Structure 1
C-alpha cells in the first residue's frame, strides 16, 4: 500500500552547499534553516559534522533552534563519524543520524577497496551503533542506481533489522533513467521482506537533467520520502529541485500530498539566491523570473482574459503577488491597451493603432519595453494634450 503523505527531506544545507561557490557561514545556514522550517519540510539535513569543527558547530546550533522539522546529520559508517554526528544533533527536538556507504561494484572496488560482505557488515554495524544515540536512523546505499539490485535487497533487509527507520536509494551520479529508477524502487518494494518497517527514500542527482522525473517516478512506485534542494543546487549539475517536486505533486498528483507551505517556495528560493549570490536562470520552473511571465501576444490575450489559459498554477500559490505581462516585440495590441489603461490612458481605436505601430518599432530594437518608453510613445504619437474626451492620464 502506497503512503499518501510524501516526506520532503531538504539537503540544501548539506548536499546543496557542496556546490562550488555555494558555501554558507553559520549565520546564513541558520537563517536558511528557519526559512526551511517555515516552509514545513519534514527533514532538514544540516551538514556533515565530521567534515570540520565549523560544520559540527553549525549543525549543533541549528539543532538548538529548529523544533518542528527533524534535523539530520550525515556521517560515514565509521564510529568516529557517527559519534560526531550524534553529538551535533543531540540538542535537536527531533534528531536523525544519516549514515551511508557505497554499494556499487565500481565504488567498492576502486574507492572503498572492500568486498560486498565487508560493506554489508560495516552498514549493519553503523546502524546498530547509531541507534545507541537515537531511534531515528537513516541508511543510504551510495550509488544505489549502479548497484546490483540483489545486493541492495540484502543490505536493506539487514540494516532494517539492525534498526534503520529510513532506507535511502541515491542516484548519486545522476545515471538512472526514469523507467529504470522506477523499476528499481518497485523491485525494492517487492523483494525486501521487511520494507514496510521503514520509510523508503530517494535522492536523485541531475547530471542527465532527469532528477525530478526520477523522483516522481520513484514516488509512483512506492517511495515515501524525497531528498531534494531549494533551486536544485548540489554537487555537479545539482539535486532534484524541491519546488518542482512539491508543485508537481500539488498540481498533478491527486493521490499524494506534502505538508510544504507552497506560498513559501519563492521566498525560500530568493533567500538562498541572496545568501549565495547565485540567481536561478530566468526560465527555471516555479521560481524563475519568467515562470509566470508572458510576452507573446496570443498568450497575453488569453492570460488577461483567464489566467488558466496558460498558467497551470497560480503565482500566489508559490508566493508571488501576481503574474507579469511583459511588453516586447511579440506583444499585441490587446496587452498594450491593457497596459495603457493601467497607466490611465483610454485611447480610441485609431489612436491605439498609431501607438501600437510606434511600439512595434521600439520593441524591435529593445529586449523589453519599459513604462517610460510607453510614455515617450504617447507623447510622440499623439499630437495634442489630453483633454476631456481625448486620451488622458487619470488623476
Structure 2
C-alpha cells in the first residue's frame, strides 16, 4: 500500500529570492556538449558493449560533432582501460576532440587514470566525490570538513600528477549528488577545489553540478545553478556544467532552465540511456534548440542511421514516441491532423516559403532524414480524407477531386478498421486501384468512334458478359456522347456530376488521369478513375469505372 508519509522534501533552495533566469524566454546559443554514452550509457546496459561496438559508437559521436566524449572510468576495470588505450594507440581521437575520463577522489584511482590517458591529444580528468547530506551521514559518516577534505586532497593530487605526466590536460570537478547538498556547502567545496586548481581564462576548469538523483521541480535546480554561477570564484575561468538524471522525468526541463540560469555545458546521452531512469537526452535538447532557430552544433541529419547503430550496439530500443527520433513522432493518424498537415504543406509550396510553419509538425522531417509520405501521413481507421489524399497524390501522383477523396477516405478507413491494422502506402494504392481505376467489369467500352455531327456523334461498342453490342448517340462532347450512347443502349439512369483531369507524368509519353462522378436516379453517387496516354480514352475509362461501381 502506498504511504505518502514516508517522503519529505530532500532538496535545498538557495538563500536567494530574486532570479534573473525567470525573465528569459529562450536559450540563445548551444552549450558545449559532452556525450557520456560510453560511460553512463554503457554501464547501464544489461549487456555492455564490446570493444569493437564501443569503437563504432565513438566514431558515430565524432561524426555527429561531439568535441568532448567521456570514454569511461579507466581505473575501474581492464575493459575500460583497454578501450581508452585502443583509442589512443590506434590514433582514433581527432585533434579537435577531447576524451574525458572519470575518477573518484582516491589516490590509487587517480594515479591509474593518468596512466590510462598517456598519449591522448587532449583529456579532461573528471574527479568527484559525493557531498549530499544523505551520503555524508549514511555512507561516509563524515563531517562537512572531512568530506571537503576528500575533494581538496583529490584536487591536490590531480594537480601534482598533471605536472608529472606529459599531456594536454583539462580538469573537471563534480560535487556528486549536488541536488541533495546544501547550496552554500556545495559552493564552499567547489570554491576550495578552485583555489587549489587556480584556473585561468586561457585554462578554464569545468565545475559540474549533477542532478545525480532528481529531487525537485525544475525551477529549483535552475535557482541552484544561478546561485552557484553568481558565487563561484574565478567565474570567468569556470565552465559551469550540468549532468541531469531523469528520476522525475524532468531532465530536459531541468537542463533547459539551468541553461537559462547561466550553465555553459551539458553532459548527457543521445537517447537518455543511463542509470535508473536515465540521463538527459542530448538529441531532444539539441533538436529543441534547432526548432527555435538555434544551431545546436550537432548533426542529426541522418537520424534513422543514428537510431539503427545505437539500437544495434546497445541492444536498447528507441521508443516509438521518443522526441524527434522515434518511428512515430511525426506520424499523424488523426483525420483532422492529416488534413491540417496536408494543407500546411500545400501552403508552403504555394507561397514558396523557406520558414517552417506546418501545423502539428515542429520541425521539417526531411531535415533529419525522414520523409513525409512514409513518416508523417500514416493510414488507419482514424485517418481522414486529407491525409489519405495527400499520400495518394505525393506518392503516386493521383489528385482526386474533393468529393471522391472523401469517398475514398471512407473506403480505406473501413478496410483498416475491419483488418485492425495500419495500411501501408502500397496497400492504400492497391485499394484505390481495386476500387476505382480502369474497371472493365461487368461493362466495358471495347471501341468508340466519333463523328463531328450535331455536336459530337459517338458509335460505341459495349462489352457485357462476353457479348458485344453497338450503340450510338450525340452529345456536347466526346465523353457526353459516349455517356448518352451507354444510357441509350442499357437504359441506365445517371448523369455526370463531376469530371476532373490532370497529367500524371511529363514528357511525350505523359499519362493522363481522369476522374468521373456519376449521380444516379436513386440519388446515389459513384466514382471512377481512368488513366491512358490519350485523355479521351482515359475519360471513357473513368466513366466506365464509375458505372461499374454502381
TM-score above 0.5, yes or no: yes
Structure 1, 195-204 or 332-341: larger mean CA deviation: 332-341
Structure 1, 140-149 or 186-195: larger mean CA deviation: 186-195
**Counterpart for residue 194 of structure 1:** 234
Q: Which has the larger radius of gyration?
A: 2
**Contact 1:99/1:139 (8 A) holds in 2:** yes
Deviations along 1:308-365, one digit per CA (max 9) or x if unpaired, are 2222222233343544211112211122223333335455566544433321211223
Bigger strand share? 2
Gap runs ≥5 in structure 1: none
Mapped pair 1:310 → 2:360: yes
Distance 1:154 1:266, change over 3 A: farther
- Aligned equivalent of 2:83, options 58, 62, 65: 58
Mapped pair 1:330 → 2:382: yes
**Counterpart for residue 42 of structure 1:** 67
**Contact 2:35/2:68 (8 A) holds in 1:** yes
**Contact 2:385/2:408 (8 A) holds in 1:** no
**Contact 1:345/1:394 (8 A) holds in 2:** no
* C-alpha deviation, 1:250, in angstroms: 2.6
**Contact 2:39/2:70 (8 A) holds in 1:** yes
Distance 1:350 1:221, change over 3 A: closer
TM-score, normalization by structure 2: 0.67
Residue correspondences, number: 393
Distance 1:168 1:230, change over 3 A: same
TM-score, normalization by structure 1: 0.91
**Counterpart for residue 300 of structure 2:** 262
Structure 1, 124-133 or 141-150: larger mean CA deviation: 124-133
**Counterpart for residue 154 of structure 1:** 188
**Counterpart for residue 129 of structure 1:** 157
- Aligned equivalent of 2:412, options 342, 359, 363: 359
- Provide the C-alpha distance between the structure 1 equivalents of 2:302 and 2:153, rounded to a whole number of angstroms: 40
Distance 1:353 1:17, change over 3 A: same
Question: Over the residues paired in the alignment, what is the CA RMSD in angstroms?
Answer: 2.6
Bigger helix share? 1
Gap runs ≥5 in structure 2: 1-19, 21-26, 163-167, 200-204, 346-357, 446-511, 516-528, 534-550
**Counterpart for residue 121 of structure 2:** 93
Distance 1:324 1:258, change over 3 A: closer
**Counterpart for residue 143 of structure 1:** 177
Distance 1:72 1:150, change over 3 A: same
**Counterpart for residue 245 of structure 2:** 205
User: Greater RCO between the two (CA within 8 Å, min separation 6)?
Assistant: 1
* C-alpha deviation, 1:376, in angstroms: 4.5
- Aligned equivalent of 1:279, options 317, 337, 344: 317
